[in-house]
Chain A
Amino acid sequence: MTLPFYVPPEQLVKDRAEYARKGIARGRSIAALSAREGVVILAENPSRTLTKISEIYDRIAFAGVGKYNEFESLRVAGIRYADVKGYQYGREDVTAKSLASAFSQTLGNIFVQGPKPFEVEVLIVEVGRDIADDRLFKVTYDGTLYDKSGHTAIGGPSDALSEKLGESYEDTPAAEDVLRLAAEAFRVVEDRAIDGWEGAMLERQGTNRRFRRLTRDELSGI
């Protein structure tokens, strides 16, 4: 009988975190910002067909960076979770808080028990009645859950991007302004020309489904 090598838990976590971080560092960033008209989500994405931002439920959107197959499977699972909950109870019972918690539990489990951690970071964003009600959750590869307000970012240089956003983000800005502000922050932090935009918005006003993708026209001027 062979005994498995003993690996101290500190070492295991450290190795896994390093592996996941390396994967995520290659990913392009995504930012989410609260504005008067709703929550704006902006991503650098050279592809027109493979999206990183997606509708989850009425007032909730998802965005993911890192390995496509991994954040895509999380996105699909998030939609399943939300639709099952909304069907079983009611539409208003689907909340970003419970979803973010499920993402956190799932990523945390995979980080510790899976063959390898997911190389992803995800955003779960919910638009509220006013800016104070908006929810911006960020979940990292190890399941750590961050509750942000106003603005947040994920992806390679997300810390630098968050800081840059913080410098110029003012209270209750207009959607147009936050879009320009975010684009400028991307350019400064990346220090290069941006390779295509993908944008979406969760509208503050409306009936059930508030998610809409920003058109090429809306993104061309930023």
Chain B
Amino acid sequence: MSGFLLPLDAPLPGNSFTELARSLDLTPRWHLPAEASPSSVPAPDATTVLALRYDGGVVMAGDRQASSGYDVAHRRIQKVFAADAYSAVAVSGTAGMAIELVRLFQTELEHYEKLEGERLSLDGKATYLARMVRMQLPLALQGFLVVPLFCGVDPRTGTGHVFTFDAVGGRYEEQDFGAAGSGGREARAYLRTVHRPDSDEDMAVDRAMEALVAAAGQDLATGGPDIRRGIYPNVVTVTAAGLRHVEESAVADAARRAVETVL
């Protein structure tokens, strides 16, 4: 873009920020040879994130640790983000790529909303996110894998939805809950036994916290609530009234209860 003139022309679809950024060479292009061997470039991984439905909305939570092999790379990173006023996105995998993917996704949603005068449908947002993951496939083959998790409320019906993804951009709507990252398997196993879709918000936050504690108990790369250092998971809820960050004091209380509950 010329520094002083407005971009009156843009690539199609004209309402896509990603396409615009790409045409201006603001997003990287990956031209990796097919025979390239997996990278040995060290990049920290972000681990367990999960989302579950409850009566009237969804709750999404993620631990705060980024790991590099057996090493703790960062203790306080954020993996759960507001995507817009009615949806949230969380990421697992190569942290640097994942956080940039979220930033691009947030800008994309805001850009669309401003241009069109209304938000994308929840389904439309999930589809777009899947496309963004698919575009990263060459990187995934190199070992820089990013797998997001998406949840939100459809304002027309007021019901919460959870979507999981895979490395090739597969998009799956989950009935009850979803999880991603190295501790995701353990979190799902825990939620499978305790999750109740008719529970209220407080109970749902408690279950989310317990599932994170369970994941941290089994998976080395997942950091549970760190009560000594005062580092607690990020938790958001989305209801028909919109997205809300659960206050840290409430998260800390839930974390203390969860550490007592889960072995």
Contact = CB atoms under 8 A, between A and B. Distances in A.
Interface of A: 51, 54-56, 73-74, 76-81, 83-84, 86-88, 101-103, 105-106, 109, 209
Nearest to B15: A76
B109 to A, nearest CB: 11
Contacts of A102: 4-6
Contacts of B8: 73-74, 77, 106
A42 to B, nearest CB: 19
Contacts of B107: 83, 86-87
B6 A81 contact: yes
B116 to A, nearest CB: 10
Contacts of B114: 54-56, 79, 83
B173 interface: no
B111 interface: yes
Q: Is the interface of A mostly helix, strand, loop or mixed?
A: helix
B73 interface: no
Interface residues of B, number: 21
A41 to B, nearest CB: 16
Given A87-B26, A87-B103, A80 B10 contact: yes
B6 A101 contact: no
A84 B11 CA distance: 14
Given A51-B117, A76-B14, A83 B111 contact: yes
Interface of B: 1, 4-8, 10, 14, 17, 20-21, 24, 26, 103-104, 107, 110-111, 114-115, 117
Contacts of A51: 117
A102 B7 CA distance: 10
B26 A84 contact: yes
A81 B7 contact: yes
22 contacts: A51-B117, A74-B6, A76-B10, A77-B7, A77-B8, A80-B7, A81-B1, A81-B6, A83-B111, A83-B114, A84-B20, A84-B21, A84-B24, A84-B26, A87-B17, A87-B21, A87-B26, A87-B103, A87-B107, A105-B4, A106-B5, A209-B110
A112 to B, nearest CB: 13
Contacts of B103: 87
Contacts of B14: 76
Contacts of A54: 114, 117
Given A51-B117, A54-B114, A76-B115, A83 B6 contact: no
Contacts of B6: 74, 77-78, 80-81, 102-103, 105-106
Nearest to B24: A84
A109 B26 CA distance: 26
Nearest to A50: B117
A84 B19 CA distance: 11
Given A79-B115, A87-B103, A102-B4, 9 more contacts: A55-B114, A79-B111, A80-B6, A83-B17, A83-B20, A83-B110, A88-B26, A103-B6, A106-B6
Nearest to B1: A84
A109 B4 CA distance: 11
A78 B6 CA distance: 6
Contacts of A78: 6
A19 B8 CA distance: 22
Contacts of A79: 111, 114-115
Contacts of A88: 26
Nearest to A102: B6
A73 B5 CA distance: 13
Contacts of B4: 101-102, 105
Contacts of A86: 107
5 smallest CB-CB distances across A and B, nearest first, come from: A77-B6, A105-B4, A106-B6, A80-B7, A77-B8
B110 to A, nearest CB: 7
B16 to A, nearest CB: 11
